[in-house]
Structure 1
Amino acid sequence: MSVFRRTAVVAAMALTVGALGAPPVAAQPLVEVASLPTAAVALGDSFISGEGAGSYTPVSDLNGVAQSFPGWSAPNSNAFFCHRSANASLHRADLPGIQARFNLACSGGQPHDIAAASAARTNGRQVKAQLDQLRAVAQTHDIDLVLVGLGSNNSSFTFGSVAEKCANRFIADAWTGWWEFWAYLGGPVPQEPCTTTDLATSAQLAAATTETTNAVRQLLATLDQIDADGQHRIVFQDYTNPLPLDLEVKFHEEDSRSDTRDKFRALGAERYAGGCPIHRASLAPGHFFSQELGNIVKSVHTTMSAEFPGDDLVYLNVQRAFDGARLCEQSTSPTGALATPIRLQDGPTGVFVTSLSGYDKLDIQRIANTCGTYFQTCQESWHPNVAGHGVLGQCLTGAASTGNRAVACVRSSDGRITVG
């Protein structure tokens, strides 16, 4: 049977009774409901909303007012910064039979935001609960496909905080000698590579799994209540690391200095320009973290498959979807990469700093502080770009039509994408 099904035409029959004592009137159809147009819906966080892919569309806030770009110095809580892209994978996938597509995901989205307004939590955006938005779609459309990406942000850790921690350590190590911290800043600032426990502890990962499971349970229960014909496929997509297992040799040393030396500004500038300001020793922990995010999604899929045995649930593993085209995996990076490089602004100017050559440590501190104060100036960093979302769209195409309960989307050395 096709994954995408239409709502059948239904007729409600009623027995109308005339005046007291009069014989009953023959049953007649009271209502005839035509098939609703079919829809695919995306829920979750930045890897689903289209962060990094540009062409961001207005987003309705808590009051139903569509928010367009509010300016670089606007509060980051503005609904627009959900960054719902017209280039997101939902819009790039080939989905036969689907007549409309609704991107309800939000950059920075957490399990909390599925059933509650994002604005109700710290650093949340001014948007309604994603389930409330989903209910609105169900009023006018028959939901046949739901793409869910959830778990990388939660009450224990967020993808943005993890990325910021490792990049900042590298930048600090590259531009400032250990003695300068004591002389000018009054104490040490972390400069060492990230470890697995720096990114997320076992306890934090367990808590994130529980949070995500509870949110998805609410989603499935709601879908079973509101979907016009009760037939829908739900695709659980996990995450892909924007960085490789190791950097291309070009990015190993500069001026005969590696990232194991004290202060290596030329190398720091080279890696920043390539999109990968990161210690080589941080790469393995980063991949372990990415795999653990995948395990969260896989665990949720397994648990929900047992609790909702009648539902059509598919786990989509995309951890190898960017193989060979990650940042600094090729010497031409960021050209040809499937992810956005780390990009910062020197103030909320809208102009990205593409090279850090010639900047001193005070410049670097000022630029880094801009990201902290105006997060929208750097929030696209290390997310799938337009080409990356095109690949993820191919992954979704395969997951939407497969007969399997779990599939992996893999990019081969010649750039071909296979799902199976």
Structure 2
Amino acid sequence: MLRRLVALALVLPLLAVLLMVADSPLREPLGPNRDAPAALVALGDSTMSGEGAGSYEPGTDGENDNWCHRSTKASVHRTKVAGVEKVFNLACSGSSSEQVGLTDGTNNTEISQARQLARIAREYRVTTVVVATGANDDPKFGDVLGACLRAWFERADCATGLAQQWRERVDRMVPKVRQALRDIRQVLHDEGYTPLSYTLVVQSYAAPVGPDLPFDLQNLAGCPLRTDDLQWVRDEAVGELAAGLREAASSVGARFLDLSRAGADHEACAGGKNPEREWFTRLMVDFDGLRDEVRARHALQESFHPNARGHEQFGRCMTEFLGTSARVASCVADRDGNLRPVPPDGD
């Protein structure tokens, strides 16, 4: 009798728990439905948004003070991924790594890109995320070119002083990019994704200018920059920036595509009298915008960014890279002049 009472005392609580579970509705699984359209999503700054390529999406060309300059010709729209039905470009010109990640702040009137990604991840099945960020953090690459422009006017040296502090600036950038990438992974995890259910790729930056340009274009008609400064940007600055970004990508298990040599022989002004072979914009001034006080502050914004031809080539290289299992590759021109992903030197 005692044994029956003890058994009953043990079983009754278990039955109560089972009844509670049976009467409770099952929790809806996280993530999109299995039949949700597959999506490719781009996050980052101007090099990913399409700054300089023109054809900007409505609402991103200064309307209501939004200057994200998302182009329909951006590289993400030239990137093909098997099975992907929808492409989203969340990248925004001027964004820092913090604005790509999970910040509560806004940039160009928009909430953080990671928070925008969360909304997409609920409705679509995100299979690929490409990111280009870091240049607007401590390196402040846009300011670097601005400083070198001033140096041309003042007949002064720009590269020497920058070179002495460049590595330190890149080193300070790395943890910020790493955090943004962790935020992206966290967002997808919270929405029910596993690391194996999507591909995360970090893309570096191409040198927009180089020393191999006609002397008669080293002025306000094209590229007012000193040869020594151009040499440093092409041969050192973008390479060291890429090394820092590769470190950040590796730390979160992301793949890495190096574009530091992608613009070789196609930089701004390198084409001379044949600008059609250039993949980057020359010095561009929005003269119409100068008449408007608000737009005047953005009159030079498109200068020295990849143009539509550049974005097409970057998209071509990214497409081929995503079709491989390689963790790291560099975009280098083949014999036909098209960018292809190749293993980096030493790998």
Q: TM-score, normalised by structure 2?
A: 0.82
Residue 202 (structure 2) aligns with: 236
Cα deviations across residues 290-321 of structure 1 (Å, max 9, x unaligned)? 1121012111122112xxxxxxx311011222
Do the aligned residues in 2 keep the contact of 1:47 with 1:383 (CA within 8 Å)? yes
Residues 1:314 and 2:255 aligned together: yes
Do the aligned residues in 2 keep the contact of 1:151 with 1:296 (CA within 8 Å)? no
User: Secondary structure of the residue that 1:160 maps to in structure 2?
Assistant: helix
RMSD: 3.0
User: Secondary structure of the residue that 1:146 maps to in structure 2?
Assistant: strand
Letter in 1 for 2:275: P
Q: How does 1:26-175 map to 2 (within 5 A)?
A: 33-58=33-58, 67=59, 69-70=61-62, 78-79=65-66, 81-113=67-99, 114-119=101-106, 124-154=107-137, 156-173=138-155
- Please, which runs of 5 or more residues in structure 2 have no aligned partner? 1-14, 343-347
Do the aligned residues in 1 keep the contact of 2:117 with 2:187 (CA within 8 Å)? no
Quickly say closer, same or farther: Cα 1:39–1:347, change in 2 above 3 A.
closer
User: Secondary structure of the residue that 2:202 maps to in structure 1?
Assistant: strand
Structure 1 residue 326, shift from structure 2 partner: 1.4
Do the aligned residues in 2 keep the contact of 1:321 with 1:410 (CA within 8 Å)? yes
More helix by share: 2
Structure 1 residue 233, shift from structure 2 partner: 0.5
Query: Partners in 2 of 1:84 and 1:199 — Cα distance?
Result: 34
Do the aligned residues in 1 keep the contact of 2:262 with 2:333 (CA within 8 Å)? yes
Letter in 1 for 2:212: L
Query: Partners in 1 of 2:146 and 2:288 — Cα distance?
Result: 17
Cα deviations across residues 255-312 of structure 1 (Å, max 9, x unaligned)? xxxxxxxxxxxx5xx323663211001023212111121012111122112xxxxxxx
Residue 4 (structure 2) aligns with: none
Letter in 1 for 2:115: D
Query: Partners in 2 of 1:199 and 1:396 — Cα distance?
Result: 33
Residues 1:297 and 2:279 aligned together: no
Quickly say closer, same or farther: Cα 1:384–1:328, change in 2 above 3 A.
same
Cα deviations across residues 318-365 of structure 1 (Å, max 9, x unaligned)? 1222222112323325332000111124573489xxxxxxxxxxxxxx
Cα deviations across residues 68-120 of structure 1 (Å, max 9, x unaligned)? 5447xx8xxx22x111111111101122210101001111111110211453x
Residue 409 (structure 1) aligns with: 331
- Please, which runs of 5 or more residues in structure 1 have no aligned partner? 1-16, 59-66, 174-190, 252-266, 306-312, 352-369
Quickly say closer, same or farther: Cα 1:273–1:333, change in 2 above 3 A.
farther
User: Share of identical aligned residues, percent?
Assistant: 26
Quickly say closer, same or farther: Cα 1:324–1:227, change in 2 above 3 A.
farther
Quickly say closer, same or farther: Cα 1:143–1:199, change in 2 above 3 A.
farther
Query: Partners in 2 of 1:398 and 1:40 — Cα distance?
Result: 15
Q: TM-score, normalised by structure 1?
A: 0.68
Do the aligned residues in 2 keep the contact of 1:196 with 1:285 (CA within 8 Å)? no
Q: How does 1:5-44 map to 2 (within 5 A)?
A: 33-44=33-44
User: Secondary structure of the residue that 2:332 maps to in structure 1?
Assistant: strand
